[in-house]
Each structure stands twice: as structure tokens, then as C-alpha cells.
Amino acid sequence: MAEIQFDDFIGADEAKLYNDDGKVIRYGLWGDGVKRLGGRQIDGRVKVKLRDKEGWIDAGALGGRSLLEFYFIDVGQGDGILIKTPGFRHILIDAGYPRRSQNTGKSGADFVDWKFVKDYGLDAIHLDALIASHNDYDHYGGLADLLDVEQEGELDAGSMTVEAIYHAGVSWWVKPTGGRWLGEMETTDDGKFLVQLLGNRTHARKVTREGADPILQGEWRDFVEKLLVAKTLDGSSTPISRLSRPATAIQSGTSLHLPGFAEASDTEPRVEILGPVEHRVNGKPALRSLGDTSKNTNGNSILLRVDYGRVRVLLTGDLNKAAQRTLLNDYEGDRLQFKCDVAKACHHGSDDVSFEFLQAMEAGCTVISSGDGEGHDHPRPRIVAASGQTGFVTVERDEVITPLVYSTELARSISVGRAVGLSLDEGGGVRELAQNDFGESKLKYRERGVGALGETNGETLLRNTRVMTRLIYGLVNVRTDGQRILAATMNEKDGSWAIKSFSSRF
């Protein structure tokens, strides 16, 4: 557990932090922690430190409590979710592509770094659980950045520890004939199953060694090797485990929880494991084959439900229609397991989704982790519409309260300026050029496409150049006290929050 030193918490939906001149310098959200800087009130305001700024806040806006918080991180194409519990335990699920493959140069690791260093004022990152929902690079790549925190020059934390690491089992292996594959499959009367699954820490060490047969392949192997050097807070090697829910547990109605998150309390949620569903084939654990390679990596994502008080949040990875149809069959008679107040949309808003599964979720709020790549074209219009159509409807005073549909890409915004001058440092002094002095001068640049491993060269006339002056990431905040749910995105103009709230129906 992170050693957080907050004296108080914001109890209002939004609170303004003022400087000594009465100017607003920051906006705080419900549940944000503050450090009081003296107890004396002046004109009804108290001096506090909110994140990295000191200022004055209305005393009536304080008196809140620590909340369960979900940060749906804008990682471009991919997923990244940081969960902070009321007791300040942290679960990180995915983190997008690695920083070197991001056109912004940022991955989910940067947000986690900011949270611990800038918000909490710590010099180290500590996670209670790190989860790779499945073995696609746009999900686990950023996790590798975080495991290399000391080597990542732009990350401020000095170290990173994690108490437990989890994965879905389906892995990239070196194919005997060359290339990569998902390993051996076996066919039974009940269909085809993936049986070459990554297991615990001992197994991970075995299948990453040179000369191993089978051996993990490529970036996935590199990632698992980084998992093997991760340490817990007490300095021991971090346990590595495969997460799944046995079909027998579903049939018997037995609950299965993330270790350490089995009992809900005032300060901790319960995290239930709903998928992937594990079968036994010839005595070995097996996951159902759902079709081609991409169907299998996405469809066998880890599926979790986080319960806190009356609130239920469903985290779906990259589940596709084939997986969802299988889950509906596996949970026949117990589909209430999928009902939720908040859902992380499956597969970035892809339309490879079961409408019946969306109906089973009936989410009051859907968050789509949509990417920036036009080739993916996410979120698809039909899925945005379907997420609203199948969502839980609440109307008050002729106003739609739910369903809500958020998209991280749509929540992102930038400010753009134009080049009007240039300062050249020439060693002995600075030479200033105005725009009309640019002539035919060109700006050379290197551009990285979304998820690309390499960069392409380009150039443009300097007089035509536009400059990105500010970027607001499309982070979607979801917070709850176990009854009420708040969803918020930041406004580009002044850093205030666009807020919607609703109550759990459970």
C-alpha cells in the first residue's frame, strides 16, 4: 500500500484552488486528496496543497473521503486502466503501446508515474497488481515501460515494485517452422482448444531461456523477461500467475476473486474473475479456440468485475463477438454476472461485438478506449449507437442521466498555433527571425505512425508550420463511494471538469 499523506479530501464534485490573488490555478475533483497547510480560515477558505500546487480552497468543499477511482488512460490505440482503491491500493491493467511506438512519446507508464510522483508526492511507484489482459502489444507494451522505470528518462519515479503479476495465458511462441504462433491446439468433441499456455513464474523462467523448447517469441518474450526481474516491496521476486475462471466454478456457482481482493469492505472492493473460462483437455488447462490468431488473442482476454458497495464495474479487455457468444453460453442461467453500472467497452469500440452481450451488461456508463489510427476507425458508429441503445436508461425531469458513452479519443484535445518567429542560438548570441524572413526555409521532422515500430522522414515549409502548443489527454475519470458514480473529462479551455453523475441501480 502506498504511504499517502493526505489530511482531507474534496467532498464537492469540483473545487477551485485559488492563488493569493484570488485567481483559479487548479480544479480538483470529488475524492482528490489535499494536504492542509495550516488550519486557519481566511474568508471561508483554507490553504492546502493539491497535487503540486499550493493555494486556497473553499472550506465547504472539503470534508470528503477517499474513493474508488478508475482512470481510463488515453494511450492512443490500446488500453490502459489504473484502479485506485479507497485504501490506496493500486491495480494497473494494460498500458498501451510502449513509449517508443507512440507518436506522442507517452504510454500508460507516464500517467502512473505522474500519479505517484506529482499527485502523491512519492519517489517510487508501488502496484498491488499488474495485469496484462492479453498478449497484444497495444496492451502490454506500456507495462514494459513501467517495469523499466529507472531506464525511462522521462519518468520521474526512481523505482517500481509490484506485489503480483497476472496474465491470460495465451502467448506468442516460436513456431517450429519459423515465425510465431499461439502454440499447440487439441481437438475434442466439444471443439478446438489452446493448450500451450504460459503459467507461473517457474514456467515463465523456463520458456524464456535460450534453447528452451517451446520458447516464447519476440516482444512478448522480452516482456515476460522483464516480469521475471520485478520485485515486491520487501525485495522478493514478484509472483507471476495466469488468471482464468474454471468452467467447473461457473457450473457450481463458486466465486473466484483476484487474490487479495476477495472481500469487499469500506476501503477495498471485491474483484471477481469472470474470464477467460478454463477447461481441462487431457488433464491440462485449456482455453477455447475462437477462430484465427487475432480472434484468440483478443477473445481470451481477462474479464474482471469490480464490486464496491452497490457499484459494479466490468472490465472487458478486447473481447470479441466469438468470445462473448461463448461467455453467454458458459454463463447460461447466470448472466446477471455481466450486469454493471460502468463498462470498459470491448476492443476499443470495434463492431466485432455481440449485441446480446451488450444487453446482458446493460451499462449505465460505457467508456471506449478508442485509438487514433484511422485504419482502425474506432469507435465504430454502430457500437456507439448500440452502447447507448443497450445501456440502462435513467431519465430525470426530462433529462437523460444514463446511459453515458465516453471515448478517450473524442475526449482528447489540442491547441494549435502558427510559427511567427524563430530564435537561433548561434553560440555567440541569438539571432531572431520574423515570419517574413523564413523564405523557403524548411522544417525537417521524423513522424511515427500509430503503433509503428519505426519513423518516417518529412519536411514542410517553415512559414506554413503549425505548432501544437497544448495537449489534453482524453483521460476518463470514474469515481464512486459505492453508491454514487461520477464520470469526468477535462475541459481544454481552462482545465476544469465536465462532470456527469448518477446512482448505482444495484
Task: Residue 21: give its domain's CATH number.
Answer: 2.30.30.40
- Is the per-residue pLDDT at 406 higher than 90? yes
Q: What are the two backbone dihedrals, phi and then psi, of residue 394, each rounded to the nearest 5 degrees?
A: -130, 125
Using pLDDT thresholds of 50, 70 and 90, give the confidence band for residue 447: confident
The CATH number of the domain holding residue 220 is: 3.60.15.10
Q: Mean pLDDT, to the nearest integer, of 144-153? A: 82
pLDDT digits (tens, 9 = 90+) for 35-93: 999 878 888 999 999 998 999 999 999 999 999 999 999 987 789 999 999 999 999 99
Q: Same structural domain for residues 84 and 184? A: yes
Coil, strand, or helix at residue 435? helix
Residues 261-293 have pLDDT tens digits of 999 899 999 999 999 999 999 999 999 999 999
Contacting residues for 203 by C-beta, under 8 A, at least 6 apart: none
Does the residue 489 lie in any domain? no
Q: Which domain holds residue 55?
A: 1-65
- Within this chain, do residues 201 and 317 fall inside the same structural domain, yes or no? yes
Percent of the chain surpassing pLDDT 90 = 72
Same domain membership, residue 87 and residue 35: no
Is 120 found in the same domain as 3? no
Q: Are residues 88 and 229 in the same domain?
A: yes
Q: What is the pLDDT of residues 18-44, one digit of tens each?
A: 999 999 999 999 999 999 998 788 889
Instruction: Examine the pLDDT at 311 and tell me if it is beyond 70.
Output: yes
Domain boundary residue, one of 362, 379, 409: 409
Q: What pLDDT, on the 0 to 100 scale, is given for residue 376? A: 56
Query: Which cell numbers hold the place of 234?
Result: 520487501
Same domain, 41 and 76: no
d(CA 15, CA 93): 29
d(CA 474, CA 87): 26
Task: Give a yes or no: residue 392 inside a domain.
Answer: yes
The predicted model gives 323-348 an average pLDDT of: 94
Q: Which of 409, 427, 455 is the last residue of a domain?
A: 409
- Claim to verify: residue 73 and residue 186 sit in the same structural domain: yes
Look at residue 495 and tell me if it is in a domain: no
- Residue 134: predicted pLDDT: 97
Q: Please tell me the distance from the alpha carbon of residue 91 to that of residue 426, in angstroms, as a whole number.
A: 49
Other residues' Cβ atoms within 10 Å of the Cβ of residue 195? 18
Same domain membership, residue 372 and residue 425: no
Same domain, 286 and 425: no
How far the first Cα of the chain sits from its last, in Å, is 29
Residue 439's pLDDT is 78
**Among candidate residues 415, 296, 305, 316, the one with its CA nearest the CA of residue 369:** 316
Looking at 133-137, 393-397, 443-447, which range is the least confident one? 443-447
Per cent of the chain over pLDDT 70 is 94
pLDDT at residue 455, rounded to an integer: 75
Is 251 contained in some domain? Answer: yes
Q: How far is CA 347 from CA 164, 300, 408, 451, 482, in A?
A: 25, 12, 13, 16, 27
Same domain, 149 and 17: no
496 part of a folded domain: no
Tell the burial category of 374 from Cβ atoms under 10 Å away from its Cβ (0-12, 13-18, 19+). Answer: exposed
Could you tell me if residue 476 is inside a domain? no
**Strands 173-174 and 90-95: what pairing?**
unpaired
Q: Which residue has the cell 447466470?
A: 334
Q: Could you give the number of structural domains in the chain? A: 3
pTM: 0.93
User: Taking 60 as the threshold, does the pLDDT of residue 2 lie above it?
Assistant: no
Closest by CA to 338, choosing from 323, 365, 358, is: 358
DSSP 251: H
Same domain, 436 and 401: no
Task: Provide mean pLDDT across the span 416-421.
Answer: 78
Among 8-17, 341-350, 445-454, the range of highest mean pLDDT: 8-17
With respect to residue 366, please indicate whether it lies within any of the assigned structural domains. Answer: yes
Contact 131, 93 (CB under 8 A): yes
Q: Is residue 352 part of a domain?
A: yes
Cell of 424: 537561433
C-alpha cell at 5: 499523506
DSSP states of 102-119: -TTS--HHHHHHHIIIII
In this structure, the answer to whether residues 119 and 241 fall within a common structural domain is: yes
Q: Do 294 and 138 meet the contact criterion of CB atoms below 8 Å apart?
A: no
Identify whether the C-beta of residue 341 lies closer than 8 Å to the C-beta of residue 366: no
Distance (Å, whole) CA 314 – CA 201 = 27
> What cell numbers appear for 239 in the block?
509472483
Among 13-27, 121-135, 410-424, the range scoring the smallest mean pLDDT is 410-424
